[in-house]
Amino acid sequence: MRRVAAVLIVLIASFAFSAFSMVNPDYESPVVKVVQYASPAVVKIDVVRTTYTSFDPFIDEFFKRFFGEDQSPWGFQRKSTAVGSGFVFDPKGYILTNEHVVHQAEQITVTFLDGKKYDAEYVGGDSELDIAVIKIKTKSAEKFPTLEFGDSDKLVIGEWAIAIGNPLGLQHTVTLGVISALNRKIPKPDGSGYYTELIQTDAAINPGNSGGPLLNIHGQVIGINTAIINPTEAVNLGFAIPINKVKRFLNDLVNIGKIRKAYLGVYIQDLTQDLAKALGLKETSGAIVTQVVEGSPADKAGIKVNDIIKEINGNKISSASDVVAIVHSYAPGDEIQIVVERDGKTIQFNVTLSEQQEEVATVEEGYSKFGITVDNITESDRKEFSIPDRIEGVIVKYVEPDSTAYRVGIRRGDVIMYLNRKKIENLNDWKEAMSKVKSGDVVALMTYRNGVRRYITFTISE
């Protein structure tokens, strides 16, 4: 009997373990299929670029603090490496990634899942939107695996999101999460403005994921992973550029190597508490129009001076920089809806954007004060005015002919690096410094033009 009982116990235990192991025996996660489909088209991007340093970090800091230089005159060049991600979207070897991944790259190498390595060349990109296209160098007619674009306008909060990339160089890492939020706005790390209309996900994204695809459960690309929140402040907060925004500019990047900027044709500035109070307004949200360029898209649509821009295509406007960022996220010819407040009434305008031409760059959106309009320095500004990357500040976009600024010699293309003793690195620094300047004050601006720096001083008039 004991022997029979022992056999029964073994049989029962075996049955129990067998039954437990058979839970969902034929189940396969749909994520597995997405990864199997997508991974062959995702690449690791290794970049080599030249950076500058000196033998003494104290000297570097001295020249950066007092002269705006990234290195001392006695510095030397060194090669540095960086890693990012990307994905093939055209069988000829065209790859999408972030501009910050391949910016100023002297050597680009891409590695596929199967270990094959290829040299690649920079085709075109845009720092403001942080998107870039590179192309594999190959003499053969080899066709590369590609990913299909999805429709980011149809995303719903809570749906699956899958990220594939190379965080910290760990090749082809897969992370899973959901779409946490849509239309997010976060400041750029360098303070040059904002990323707008971002997809937020809790799929883990780390340094090295930049440029990689964010996929839906169907294996379609819905975004390009581009930013994270400082992990010391928060976790599981990653952001991706919506793929529909990228698609607007893809032909330009491939065919002409740059993005044609959309043009609205207004001067705008932040609606501060003092300004709102003076104008009898209850709220400070939005950006106030201070000038409308004759014949511009804004003018044709009916936008007027003192209109307060509250929304663009459903995106809430809290500052002038929001307007610039959102307008530049659309292509020439796109129609956008702008909601303004005028005399206490809400009015919506349908505006067809035109292309920003070099000859009308002086009337682009910016921040106006004492006769000049300034803005953050773009890559096209650096090329047009031969501004080295080490030079930081704001660039003068327009100078009123009869202004004090014009009489003392400030011209379009000048870079303002310091206001009195305040170092200016971006538009936010400029606004903060200008908020402390009063009528009757004497200001000293350190400007940069054609390799020469000089101080320009004048008195702020009434």
What positions carry a catalytic annotation?
A: 100, 130, 210
Residue 334's H or E segment, with its range, is: none
SS3 201: strand
SS3 433: helix
Closest among 146, 135, 150 to 214, alpha carbons compared? 150
Residues 229 and 382: their CA atoms lie apart, in Å, by 29
Closest among 171, 131, 155 to 42, alpha carbons compared? 171
Give the Cα-Cα-Cα angle 126, 204, 327 (nearest 5 degrees).
30
Please tell me what DSSP assigns to residue 259: P
Per residue, what are the HEC states of 51-112? Answer: EEECCCHHHHHHHHHHHCCCCCCCCEEEEEEEEEEEEEEECCCEEEECHHHHCCCCEEEEEC
At which residue do the structure tokens 């597995």 appear?
A: 32
Q: Are strands 94-97 and 76-90 parallel, antiparallel or unpaired?
A: antiparallel
Q: What are phi and psi of 20, to 5 degrees?
A: -65, -40
Closest among 304, 340, 311, 339 to 326, alpha carbons compared? 311
C-alpha torsion angle, residues 443, 265, 191, 63 (rounded to 10): -40
Residues 297 and 28: their CA atoms lie apart, in Å, by 53
